[in-house]
Amino acid sequence: MAAISSVPDRLTAPADDFVAGEGILRRQSLRESAARTYARSLPVVPVRARGMTVEGADGRRYLDCLSGAGTLALGHNHPVVLEAIRAVLDSEAPLHVLDLATPVKDAFTTALFETLPPELADHGRVQFCGPAGTDAVEAAIKLVRNATGRGGLLAFTGAYHGMTAAALAATGDTAARATVGEADARVTRLPYPYDYRCPFGTGGDRGAELSARWTASVLDDPKGGVQPPAGMLLEVVQGEGGVIPAPEAWLRRMREITTRRGIPLIVDEVQTGVGRTGTFWAVEQSGIVPDVMVLSKAIGGSLPLAVIVYREELDTWRPGAHAGTFRGNQLAMAAGTATLRYVREHGLDLRAAALGARMLARLRGLAAHHRCIGDVRGRGLMIGVELVDTEAEPDDYGSLPAAPRLAAAVQQEALSRGLIIELGGRHSSVVRLLPPLTITDEQAEAVLDRLADSIAAAERATTTGGSGTTGGSGVPGGSGAPVGPGASGVPAGSGAVEERA
């Protein structure tokens, strides 16, 4: 990988501390914002990466199950992505074009529409948004408010939609929302069917049905206090909320409830899209077709890109109703086109379904030997392991409280074994696996071996101290674990499953 080896820039990293990366980490903690997240619990200084292997400045290699928060469907620096980027660079095409038409954008739009449910592909519109997922969520909310003339929004417990104003108001995380003061009164919070911690204490199909009945009844009750809303916003599998898949029957009920009442349904596929959950888009599994889909992360093939696609009847906003300077990232569109095509042509969604099912089965076997594994769940290669405090009392439904300190310990143990994992969910107690869809069987086995060892080691280390139910940063990727370089990762050359970065 000659081209990649020049990535670490010695001009920006003084030679004396470049090798270990310790100086870089030290300067980061001195100079960067207190709001930084992943950098706190993952003291790695990545200098090279390929596939699912990341190599740190200290030469250690890691299997990366964070994948840029689910962005890297094809892993790091996939040849088709690099080739697409180089082709744009070599063509001397403008790299930044606002929302002007270009051949690169035209190709991306065609590739995207080829993946969409026919109703949206044939009768849909696309709006290119600012570069992040949260920009597209803002656009979706604005679109339906504009089209319906209403202000209210239905959103769910556990939801995560981003950090800008309207997206944050729709997010369920109270700690994250506290940073902007009062909650947006126009958001009505509804119960998401979280089977393991069912808000109705029943779980299963019954819990999901009660969640649907609650939704229908607050909308229909003339004294229920909910104005007819502009839209309903949901995730098919809540990612940051703790990898919580919604039952297909519940999704169909949400579609039926919204259709009957003339409420546009917005599905946020920012994290679930591009094969991640076992179908190209997660909505396909239930057969529902949303009125608006919010897409980002993997659609840019590792570069920033965000769009909404929606039924053309909603396209009533005026020119300039939604704008933004950085909507024309040509490199991201080229990388995105290559990624969308590769995932489709190589059936990586089906691969995610099959491999994900095998990984879930093995994790469930592991749970039988560890009481601290409260729940194992997921769809495709979006997998969550909820860790619980075995020394505490179970709740009414029999679930033990969250174990944030144990989860943070598992993350650190994993890092020391050369495995990068993310934490999420309530109290940051859910270990999340988001490997690239290109992960090999051997790598999947290695991930699970390292995770099993990490859970056993963390369990031993925390049993005496108790795992506790408080703590966690409440911010995606922020486990609140201490920062500091350590002897983690697998020394380069010793790992059989890591790609040569």
CA R_g for the chain: 22
* CB nearer ligand PLP, residue 36 or residue 364: 36
* CB nearer ligand PLP, residue 271 or residue 428: 271
Give min distance, CB of 135 to ligand PLP, in A: 7
CB 273 within 8 A of CB 367: no
Give min distance, CB of 4 to ligand PLP, in A: 25
How many CB atoms are closer than 10 A to CB 399? 18
Question: What is the C-alpha to C-alpha distance for residues 278 and 473, in angstroms, rounded to an integer?
Answer: 30
CB 417 within 8 A of CB 332: no
Give min distance, CB of 472 to ligand PLP, in A: 17
* CB nearer ligand PLP, residue 215 or residue 296: 296
Amino acid 433 reads: L
289 contact partners, CB below 8 Å, separation of at least 6:
117, 119, 120, 255, 283
* CB nearer ligand PLP, residue 158 or residue 468: 158
Question: Burial of 118 by CB count in 10 Å (0-12 exposed, 13-18 middle, 19+ buried)?
Answer: exposed
The residue sitting closest to ligand PLP, measured at its beta carbon, is: 133
How many CB atoms are closer than 10 A to CB 99? 12
Question: What is the C-alpha to C-alpha distance for residues 329 and 241, in angstroms, rounded to an integer?
Answer: 30
* CB nearer ligand PLP, residue 189 or residue 370: 189
* CB nearer ligand PLP, residue 64 or residue 498: 64
* CB nearer ligand PLP, residue 150 or residue 161: 161
Give min distance, CB of 299 to ligand PLP, in A: 11
- Residues near ligand PLP (CB under 6 A): 69, 132-134, 137, 160-162, 235, 239-240, 268, 270-271, 296, 476
* Tokens describing residue 46: 């990545």
Question: What is the C-alpha to C-alpha distance for residues 342 and 75, in angstroms, rounded to an integer?
Answer: 12
Give min distance, CB of 501 to ligand PLP, in A: 25
DSSP per residue over 75-134, as a string? -BT-HHHHHHHHHHHHHT--SB-TT---HHHHHHHHHHHHHS-HHHHHHEEEEE-SSSHH
DSSP per residue over 388-456, as a string? B-TTSPP-TTSPPPB-HHHHHHHHHHHHHTTEE-EEESGGG-EEEE---TT--HHHHHHHHHHHHHHHH
Give min distance, CB of 294 to ligand PLP, in A: 7
Question: What is the C-alpha to C-alpha distance for residues 315 and 125, in angstroms, rounded to an integer?
Answer: 8
Which SS3 state, helix, strand or coil, does residue 338 take?
A: helix
How many CB atoms are closer than 10 A to CB 441? 10
* CB nearer ligand PLP, residue 163 or residue 263: 163
* CB nearer ligand PLP, residue 423 or residue 455: 423
Give min distance, CB of 447 to ligand PLP, in A: 21
Give min distance, CB of 384 to ligand PLP, in A: 13
In 3-state terms the chain splits into helix, strand, coil percentages (rounded to 5) of: 40, 15, 45
* CB nearer ligand PLP, residue 76 or residue 161: 161
Give min distance, CB of 239 to ligand PLP, in A: 4
Pairing of strands 265-268, 292-295: parallel
Give min distance, CB of 159 to ligand PLP, in A: 8
Q: How far is CA 162 from CA 184, 308, 429, 452, in A?
A: 14, 15, 20, 31
Give min distance, CB of 484 to ligand PLP, in A: 26
* CB nearer ligand PLP, residue 239 or residue 468: 239
